[in-house]
């Protein structure tokens, strides 16, 4: 039986042109949608429906188990508990939808054996990157193409063939570069009871998945002005004066810092509507480091250095561990077209229409008196890119900005690029003019020569497709 075969041909090495997240590079999808007859016999094309959508799924408590692994595709029953549909943990955001109909009806001698349609689809500024987070959820963008057709040799109702192609989106907003994320220095932070002064610095507030060592420095000391405003400068803090805190010397001498606990958290925020997040947030601890101190706090600062490995990468992509005499385990890796590739597995900072994953640093101070314990939190960013890729990324961004200038001139010949707002989301998206398709008519000499189609003639008039037999040609 004759039916159309759908495929996608990228215009370049990647389907995506430009840099998603940077509007001046014109992030877009450039490809060619190819529809071919499976046996070189004609079919009648009714219409082609093209949808660009992002699917976000967060894992609820029923899904938070060992059975839900990183190789579970979107269309398997494991996405929902017990195989039942659960609309509460899944969201589909449609970025683009278009129906393509030929202006000239395809009937009679105009029956088709194929059509090539150039596609240029603008990516919205807030499109979410492809990611699988084993604790919270996953997100991926798809290009969904459906061809509605009828058979040329018989009268029948419309039939359809579907083609789902994953688009792996990589955003360029979070780059682990000092020019984008400068080192953090926080000075003279007071404890809740105004007794202590804390200084901390973060050398790399944006951590990459490959270079995932967080470098942190902390100092703590007594506050010389516990009941008053802080001194205007460090020179005003006369730590050599023996009369300071003379009335509380006995109390201060007994106050000891027991431990400093450093934790890196990832937090799931679920969006209730366009401007409000759910009050219930899920927190997961990525890494913990505890430093035993057991020292009395004085006017002299106590300095601490931390180099904390976060281990955000997927376990199959982490560096080789030291040799182990035990018997190794073998894992079968399954990677189908509707699965997310391994390089997108891990905990990264993501922002979407349905849920966000953010990261933060928690510094906890524990004293010998529990009422003095307190905590400091600071936001972090975990990037998909590594520091070694920065020179290549900066060159790529410059090239894509230059290419975007030529693209504007090219599309100006077919109609201007227009700005269109998405009714489903509040984001803006560019609408590109349609480019003319290439139509391959049935029983056309040029088409037959191009695709090396030869027919064994059974009908002298060659008008009845059922009496034509294709002869395969091997080159």
> 240 falls in which pLDDT band (50, 70, 90)?
very low
425 phi, psi to nearest 5 deg: -130, 170
Residue 457 lies in a domain: no
Residue 458 forms part of a structural domain: no
Rounded Cα distance, 31 and 11, in Å: 5
Q: Is residue 228 part of a domain?
A: yes
Check whether residue 164 and residue 266 sit in a common domain: no
Q: Does one domain contain both 9 and 93?
A: yes
User: What per-residue confidence (pLDDT) applies to 421?
Assistant: 67
Q: What are the pLDDT digits (tens) for 110-163?
A: 688 889 999 999 999 889 999 988 888 899 999 999 999 988 777 678 889 999
131 and 271 co-located in one domain: no
Angle at CA 289, nearest 5°, toward 176 and 177? 5
Residue pair 265/376 in contact (Cβ under 8 Å)? The answer is no
Looking at residue 66, its pLDDT comes to 38
Which residues lie below 8 Å from residue 199, measured CB to CB, with a gap of 6+? 185, 186, 187, 188, 189, 218, 219, 220, 301
Summarize the confidence of residues 182-197 as an average pLDDT: 90
Domain that holds residue 269: 184-232+246-316+337-384
pLDDT at 54 over 90: yes
Question: Does 345 share its domain with 197?
Answer: yes
pLDDT-derived band at 247 (thresholds 50, 70, 90) equals very low
216-225, 304-313, 420-429 — which one is most confidently predicted on average? 216-225
**Mean pLDDT, rounded, for 448-474:** 62
Domain total of the chain: 2
What average pLDDT does this structure show over 373-379? 93
Mark whether 28 and 122 lie in a shared domain. Answer: yes
Q: Is residue 306 part of a domain?
A: yes
Show the tokens assigned to 47.
Answer: 């219409």
Question: Are 306 and 202 within one domain?
Answer: yes
Mean pLDDT within 417-445:
77
Q: What average pLDDT does this structure show over 411-430?
A: 73
Distance, in Å, from the CA atom of 376 to the CA atom of 362, rounded to the nearest integer, reads 6
Closest CA to 224 of 266, 262, 194, 254: 194
The confidence score (pLDDT) of residue 62 equals 39
Q: Are residues 219 and 345 in the same domain?
A: yes
pLDDT > 90? residue 59: no
Any domain includes 456: no
User: Is the domain of 34 the same as that of 16?
Assistant: yes
Output the DSSP codes for 192-221.
TTS-EEEEEEES-SEEESSS-EEEEEEEEE
Is 467 domain-assigned?
no
Q: What is the CATH number of the domain that holds 265?
A: 2.60.40.640
**208 in the same domain as 134:** no
Q: Which two tokens stand for residue 384?
A: 């998909």
Least confident of 345-349, 432-436, 464-468: 464-468
How many Å from the N-terminal Cα to the C-terminal Cα in the chain? Answer: 25
Domain annotation covers residue 447: no
Q: What is the pLDDT of residue 77?
A: 39
Q: Is residue 22 part of a domain?
A: yes
What is the pLDDT at residue 394? Answer: 92
HEC-encoded secondary structure of 221-232: EECCCCCCCCCC
Q: Are residues 351 and 204 in the same domain?
A: yes
Lowest mean pLDDT of 38-52, 59-73, 314-328, 347-361, name the range.
59-73
Same domain, 88 and 113: yes
pLDDT at 426 (0 to 100): 53
Alpha-carbon distance of 254 to 336, in angstroms, equals 63
Global pTM value: 0.78
Query: Are 98 and 194 within one domain?
Result: no
């Amino acid at each position: 039986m004759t039916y159309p075969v759908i495929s996608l041909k990228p215009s370049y090495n990647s389907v995506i042109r430009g840099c998603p997240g940077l509007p001046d590079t014109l992030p877009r999808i450039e490809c060619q949608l190819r529809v071919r007859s499976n046996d070189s016999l004609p079919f009648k094309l009714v219409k082609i429906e093209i949808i660009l959508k992002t699917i976000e799924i967060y894992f609820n408590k029923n899904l938070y188990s060992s059975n839900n692994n990183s190789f579970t595709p979107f269309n398997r029953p494991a996405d929902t508990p017990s195989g039942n549909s659960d609309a509460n943990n899944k969201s589909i955001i449609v970025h683009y939808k278009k129906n393509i109909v030929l202006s000239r009806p395809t009937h009679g001698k105009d029956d088709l054996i194929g059509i090539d349609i150039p596609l240029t689809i603008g990516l919205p500024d807030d499109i979410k990157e492809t990611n699988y987070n084993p604790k919270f959820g996953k997100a991926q963008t798809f290009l969904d193409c459906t061809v509605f057709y009828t058979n040329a040799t018989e009268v029948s109702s419309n039939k359809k063939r579907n083609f789902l192609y994953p688009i792996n989106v990589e955003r360029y907003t979070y780059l682990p570069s000092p020019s984008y994320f400068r080192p953090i220095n926080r000075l003279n932070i007071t404890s809740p009871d105004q007794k202590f002064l804390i200084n901390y610095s973060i050398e790399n507030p944006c951590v990459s998945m490959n270079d995932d060592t967080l470098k942190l420095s902390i100092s703590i000391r007594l506050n010389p002005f516990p009941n008053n405003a802080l001194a205007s400068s460090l020179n005003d803090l006369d730590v050599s004066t023996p009369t300071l805190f003379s009335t509380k010397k006995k109390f201060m001498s007994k106050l000891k810092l027991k431990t400093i606990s450093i934790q890196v958290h990832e937090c799931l925020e679920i969006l209730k509507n366009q401007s409000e997040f759910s009050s219930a947030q899920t927190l997961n601890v990525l890494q913990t480091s505890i430093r035993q101190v057991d020292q009395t706090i004085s006017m002299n600062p106590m300095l601490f250095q931390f180099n904390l490995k976060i281990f955000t990468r997927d376990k199959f992509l982490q560096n080789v561990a030291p040799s182990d005499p035990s018997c190794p385990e073998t894992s079968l890796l399954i990677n189908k077209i509707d699965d997310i590739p391994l390089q997108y597995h891990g905990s990264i900072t993501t922002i979407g229409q349905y849920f966000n994953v953010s990261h933060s640093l928690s510094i906890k101070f524990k004293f010998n008196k529990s009422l003095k314990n307190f905590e400091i939190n600071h936001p972090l960013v975990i990037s998909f890119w590594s520091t070694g890729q920065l020179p290549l990324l900066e060159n790529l961004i410059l090239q894509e900005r230059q290419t975007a200038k030529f693209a504007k001139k090219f599309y100006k010949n077919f109609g201007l690029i227009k700005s269109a707002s998405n009714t489903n989301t509040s984001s803006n998206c560019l609408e590109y003019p349609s480019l003319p398709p290439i139509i391959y008519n049935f029983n056309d000499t040029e088409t037959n020569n191009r695709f090396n189609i030869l027919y064994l003639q059974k009908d002298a008039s060659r008008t009845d497709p059922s009496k034509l037999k294709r002869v395969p040609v091997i080159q």
